[in-house]
Amino acid sequence: MRESVQAEVMMSFLVSEELSFRIPVELRYATDDPYAVRMTFHLPGDTPVTWAFGRELLLDGLVEPCGEGDVRIEPMTGPDDLLDVRIRLQVAGDRALFRAGAAPLVAFLDRTDRLVPMGQECDLGDFEENLDEALGRILAEEQNAG
């Protein structure tokens, strides 16, 4: 059985209203942390930065603005359809704003759902043990990045 799903998506890093540039972003979902997705941003000249947040948050952000605190996601619709998604990441006073096409995010989430159907994450085993392990990894990643 496959234990993870990965994809690379090109996103626009919105530096200001006048300036943006495209960057590759790696999306990763793994069964050992079934509630989270990870996005690794490859900014030019910097070491990659990884953010982990709820898979459900990404799914909900395709439909309506959602998220509180460090991660906020909102759809950007056109005349007839969902076109793009805006992702805002924030640490203290620092913010980064990204824009991604909705289609590759939907395709990625569809692949994660085939691996672990939404709502069946707890069927993978001991939730508390997995949560403690996932939180430990996230804290270690944050300390290494800082």
Q: Which residue ranges make up each domain of the chain?
A: 4-145
pLDDT of residue 131: 61
Task: Indicate the burial class of 119 (C-beta count within 10 angstroms; 0-12, 13-18, 19 or more).
Answer: exposed
pLDDT of residue 134: 67
Task: Indicate the burial class of 12 (C-beta count within 10 angstroms; 0-12, 13-18, 19 or more).
Answer: middle
pLDDT of residue 92: 80
Task: Indicate the burial class of 81 (C-beta count within 10 angstroms; 0-12, 13-18, 19 or more).
Answer: exposed
Does this model's pTM top 0.75? My answer is: yes
pLDDT of residue 94: 84
Distance from C-alpha of 58 to C-alpha of 26, rounded to nearest angstrom: 14
39, 51 contact by CB (below 8 A): yes
45, 62 contact by CB (below 8 A): no
Which positions of the chain have pLDDT values less than 50?
Answer: none
- CATH H superfamily, domain 4-145: Sporulation-specific cell division protein SsgB (2.30.31.20)
Structure tokens given for 3: 């234990």
Q: In what order do the strands lie in the sheet with 36-41?
A: 49-54, 36-41, 20-30, 4-14, 94-101, 82-91, 71-77
Structure tokens given for 50: 């990884």
